[in-house]
Structure 1
Amino acid sequence: MVFLATGSEPCSYKDSQYSMSIPDYQSTFRPLLCAIENGAEVSFNDALESVCKHFQLTQEEVQERLPSGGQTVIKNRVSWARTYMKKAGLVLAPRGKIQITERGRQALLDCPEKITVKYLKQFQEFREFYTSKRTNTSITSSQQEEESSITPEEQMAEAYKSVLESLSADLLENIQKQTSAFFEQLVVDLMLKMGYGGSREDAGRATQLSADGGIDGVIYEDRLGLDTIYLQAKRWENTVGRPEIQKFAGALQGEGASKGVFITTSNFSKEAKDYANRVSSRIVLIEGHQLAQLMIDYGLGVSTRQTYEIKSVDSDYFNAE
């Protein structure tokens, strides 16, 4: 990576307040322009590397990814910076590269500290882009984004996370309203959804035959029945303590079993977790929040109301000879 300089005074890289953390996307506007200020076309990846160096990001920070896992946080933020400044006419972005314009050079003079969305709004092209993607939103919403530290994609991820948290709470609330027998069957259904067991009928008969001795269900680990997993289900609101895990471990030993799954709608005490890690049988503990997430992931007790896709430009298509 190299920093490019012109005959004029180069941009300063010494006064960053984000030296130990990932900067918000608006804070990357000016450093991105500084990385390309000599006017030559620069590959976006080289410019991104310059921004990372400017903020003195650690390797861990450079590799930190969005919740979706599809892109790193810093690349996502610098990509949005490129998009916003391109719409405002501060940069050109031909084929995976980036180049400063005269308007971009003027922005460096106008904004010696930080270039922001508010500054970009003086340009008609940017206002049209910015307004069109906010149809039917309020002025307050627009003002909030001007001060926002996260990109639109990150805002969507945060909103999605909130929806999931609300759905998880609703699932656990509905489970608590059901009978213990319903919950025991739910646990078997979840294991089947996850790919365990042979058939619903086999799992159902196993549940009915083993509803004593600290075991609520039995399911095959695979469709051939080469190994068996014993299940315990506790539809509780209070914390599950060590005595319950001891009872389950004893039941496994009595059956000559080596694997068990203990699922609760609440949580496990530290003592319970420590004990489960020490016993010879392999016992997996699943708490309420994990149970809800698994139900969401495997489509049990939930239905899809709306699907959104986030797409990006396929650079391979446009770079094909």
Structure 2
Amino acid sequence: MLHFFTIDAIKSGFLIKEKGTWTLSNTGNDAIQLGEVGLLEACSEGYAKWKLSIPAKQQTEAVVAKEIKDVPSEELLESVIAEINDNLAGEILDIVKSCSPVFFERLVVALLVKMGYGGTLANAARVIGRSGDGGIDGIIDEDRLGLDAIYIQAKRWEGIVGRPEIQKFVGALQGQRAHKGVFITTSDFTKEAQEYVTNISNKVVLMNGFALAKLMIENNVGVSIAATYEVKKIDSDYYVDE
């Protein structure tokens, strides 16, 4: 019977370990005299008292550990990788913020090319700064045939970008009779700026610093693979006895 309540009995102080052997303590001997039902009740009560004596932090850690144990291995691995990438994105963003504006513009072009825009890196790089418009930093082809163009503004800013800056960019697009644009910043955008781009005819994408860093990781720009792990599963076909 005690086999099923070993933990309760230990935490209640009824079982003690001496030189590798579990034995009944004096309180354990007293509890035995209560009979089966009384013993189980004493174990449960003792465990409850022990739990109340533990600091809340330790109890939380125990709950978290149990929750982790209950999560499937693949989901746990994905969660760990996501956390690693989030931390890496923060490191990337810190480095990018310290780079020169020219380097930042080149980084943006390299990322867009990796994502499938602008054809080759050399062709894409030549269009940066050509427009001469204060609201546009560069133009990149949407496809390799150059059937449509995407206008870029890349700002290595610390402050949050507000609606006025986005309106200025949209005005520059309209001056070029352009329909698509990407505004990229190392900081973030105000709620008003985000709402503004949803109510205009031009297609404008706002990319903040964290989104930029995540896309750099996804497309292997400015990062390298540190380690590769193989996740294996049972090959059911192998075990077929023909």
SS at the partner of 1:260? strand
- After the TM superposition, which residues 1-321 of structure 1 pair with which residues of structure 2 at under 5 Å, given as runs? 144=65, 148-210=69-131, 212-319=133-240
TM-score (norm 1): 0.52
- For 1:155 and 1:147, the matched residues in 2 are separated by 7
Shift in Å, 1:160: 1.4
- The letter of the residue matching 2:74 is E
Shift in Å, 1:266: 1.4
Shift in Å, 1:316: 4.4
- For 2:118 and 2:163, the matched residues in 1 are separated by 28
Equivalences, count:
181
- Residue segments in structure 1 that go unaligned for 5+ positions in a row: 1-139
- For 1:288 and 1:269, the matched residues in 2 are separated by 13
Residues 208 and 145 from structure 1, CA distance in 2 versus in 1: closer, same or farther, beyond 3 angstroms? Answer: same
- Residue 62 of structure 1 aligns with which residue? none
User: For residues 85-136 of structure 1, what are the alpha-carbon distances to aligned partners after superposition, in whole Å with 9 as ceiling and x for unaligned?
Assistant: xxxxxxxxxxxxxxxxxxxxxxxxxxxxxxxxxxxxxxxxxxxxxxxxxxxx
- The letter of the residue matching 1:287 is N
- For 2:208 and 2:71, the matched residues in 1 are separated by 31
Shift in Å, 1:147: 7.5
SS at the partner of 1:148? helix
SS at the partner of 1:245? helix
Indicate conservation of the 8 Å contact 2:150/2:182, yes or no.
yes
- For 1:218 and 1:259, the matched residues in 2 are separated by 10
TM-score (norm 2): 0.69
- For 1:220 and 1:276, the matched residues in 2 are separated by 21
- For 1:177 and 1:204, the matched residues in 2 are separated by 21
Range moving further from structure 2, 297-306 or 205-214: 205-214
Shift in Å, 1:210: 2.6
- The letter of the residue matching 1:172 is L
Higher helix share: 2
- The letter of the residue matching 1:223 is R
- Residue 82 of structure 1 aligns with which residue? none
Larger Rg: 2
- Residue 115 of structure 1 aligns with which residue? none
Residues 264 and 319 from structure 1, CA distance in 2 versus in 1: closer, same or farther, beyond 3 angstroms? Answer: farther
- Residue segments in structure 2 that go unaligned for 5+ positions in a row: 1-60
- Residue 33 of structure 2 aligns with which residue? none
SS at the partner of 1:209? coil
Range moving further from structure 2, 181-190 or 211-220: 211-220
